[in-house]
Amino acid sequence: MRSRTALRVLLTALLLAGLALVGAAARAARPAPFGDEVAAQARRVEADALRVGAGGGVEAYDARTGVAGWDYRRAGHRPLRLVRAGATTVALWDDGELTGMEPEPAVVRWHRYVPGVGAATPLTLVPLGAGETFLVLTRDVVMTYNTGDGTLRTSTLPPVGCAFLDHGPAGPVHLGAWVLARRDCADGAGRTELEGYNLDGRRWQQPAVVPERMEASPAGDAEVLVVPVRRPFAVDPATGRPAPECVCAAR
């Protein structure tokens, strides 16, 4: 009886050891998530900034000396640009991937994917406020994210037959905690509108405003040229209404 018990214990131990070895081998052979590859330089560098590297990755470096500290790559893809949002830098890749990174300590904090985005797709990516959130706009969607962990806050789709204007003189305008965007619709699907977004998504719509050109003003408002009036006026980004100073000037 004792010999059977001892044999059972031995077999169980061998089985567990075998499973552990199989698991270790599987983990060793598992490809890095998202094609990640972080490579440190031979010498220690106190990196405090990030840049698009010449080798097709994101490079951390010492801003004072320019010396590289470590390099981050995704196999088969390249970063298009980097956007600083608070303590995190968001890298936009040519396949629509977003990566939140910090230079020191060397860390890749999160990955997110923007559907329908390629290397040639116009995309607005801007920090909001102090950088605790950021906004992404394409012609098909407007999304806001928490910068710290990359979690999605809001997502706004245009109605069927409509799209956001993603570039050009009347393309999106970033004003601190706000982004103003023009939304166009095909005949019968709706009408052109000016919309305002903050960290909580779309906050207002002004269907009577059809901007031909938008740009930020020194006062923090949006200078908007509309049709058919063709006279620029200032828009309060928080409400979409004419800024008070513009109303006073018109009297």
Question: Any alpha helices (H) in the chain, and if so which ranges?
Answer: 2-29, 244-250
The predicted-structure confidence for 159-214, as pLDDT tens digits, reads as follows: 999 999 999 999 999 999 999 999 999 887 788 899 999 999 999 998 877 888 99
Given CATH 2.30.30, say whether it is the number of domain 24-121: no
Domain limits, CATH 2.130.10.10, in the chain: 122-251
What's the order of all strands across the beta sheet hosting 49-52?
Answer: 36-40, 68-74, 58-61, 49-52
Length of the chain equals 251
Amino acid at 25: A
pLDDT of residue 220: 86
The predicted-structure confidence for 11-63, as pLDDT tens digits, reads as follows: 444 433 443 333 333 233 333 444 566 766 645 778 889 999 988 899 999 99
Long-range contacts formed by 48-56: CB under 8 A, 24+ apart: 48/103, 48/104, 49/103, 50/82, 50/89, 50/91, 50/101, 50/103, 51/82, 52/79, 52/81, 52/82
Q: Higher pLDDT residue, 123 or 55?
A: 123
Residues 6+ apart with CB under 8 A from 213: 169, 170, 223, 224, 225, 232
Mean pLDDT of 229-237: 77
pLDDT of residue 153: 96
Residue 69, pLDDT > 90, answer no
pLDDT of residue 100: 95
* Burial class for 58, CB neighbours closer than 10 Å (0-12, 13-18, 19+): buried
Per DSSP bridges, beta strands 211-216 and 79-85 are: unpaired
Distance CA 97, CA 115 (A): 9
Count of C-beta atoms within a 10 Å radius of residue 48: 14
Domain limits, CATH 2.40.128, in the chain: 24-121
Give the DSSP letter of residue 168. S
Amino acid at 185: C
Assigned superfamily of 122-251: YVTN repeat-like/Quinoprotein amine dehydrogenase (2.130.10.10)
Mean pLDDT of 233-239: 87
Radius of gyration from C-alpha coordinates of the chain: 25
Distance CA 109, CA 129 (A): 21
Distances (CA, A) of 185 to 9, 54, 58, 158: 72, 41, 38, 9
The predicted-structure confidence for 77-122, as pLDDT tens digits, reads as follows: 999 999 999 989 999 999 999 999 998 877 788 999 998 888 889 9
pLDDT of residue 230: 62
